[in-house]
Amino acid sequence: MTLSFKPLESTSTAFFHEMFHASFYTPPGEAPLTFEATRSPELRRYYEYWGREGDLGFVAMRGEEPVAIVWSRRFDQEEPGYGFVSADVPEFGVAVKKGMRGEGIGQQLMDHFLNALRERGDRQVSLSVHGDNHAAQWYQRMGFRTVAFDGKTMTMVMEL
């Protein structure tokens, strides 16, 4: 499977919003996050006004079809993201289209993204992940380590 990667230039596309919504884990027995909830001010801050200093993201393409996305943004101490570590550490989210998971698309996209962060000069990257989410193990295998846990959610960091 050949993938190409293009810079994430806009977060106002239907594909971005589909993937942003798909990136939220629903624990067993809980109601899934509604699509409308992803437009709340608390979550919009992850993508609103995309392209500001420090934003970095990519769309994985299989031919002409977008199949996955990764985005990152830096937050400050006054308005931290869920995976906030410090103002100079970008926090990221990633999602692969349903029906295409388990094919290595996410790993190829993450490899591309992490290399771009290194090339940009970032030293760390962080994320927030629910402790029951199987993706947490995937992040650990990539080299992320848990730096905070509130009983439900882990903040993980990778040294670049």
| pLDDT tens readout for residues 142-160 | 999 999 999 999 999 999 9
**Averaged pLDDT score across all residues of the chain:** 95
Using the structure block, give the residue that is written with the tokens 């006054």: 78
What pLDDT is recorded for position 40? Answer: 95
- In the DSSP assignment, the letter for residue 36 is G
CB 155 within 8 A of CB 146: yes
The H or E element spanning position 52 is: none
Average pLDDT over residues 15-40: 94
pLDDT at 102: 87
Q: How far is the CA of 150 from the CAs of 12, 25, 108, 118, in angstroms? A: 32, 16, 30, 29
- Strand order across the 56-62 sheet: 4-7, 56-62, 65-73, 91-96, 124-130, 153-159, 145-149
Answer yes or no: are the C-beta atoms of 153 and 130 closer than 8 Å. Answer: yes
Residue 1 scores a pLDDT above 70: no
Q: Is 79 exposed, middle or buried (0-12, 13-18, 19+ CB in 10 A)?
A: exposed
pLDDT in tens, 95-139: 999 999 889 999 999 999 999 999 999 999 999 999 999 999 999
Can you give the pTM of this predicted structure? 0.94
Stated as kind and residue range, the H or E segment containing 22 is: helix 14-22
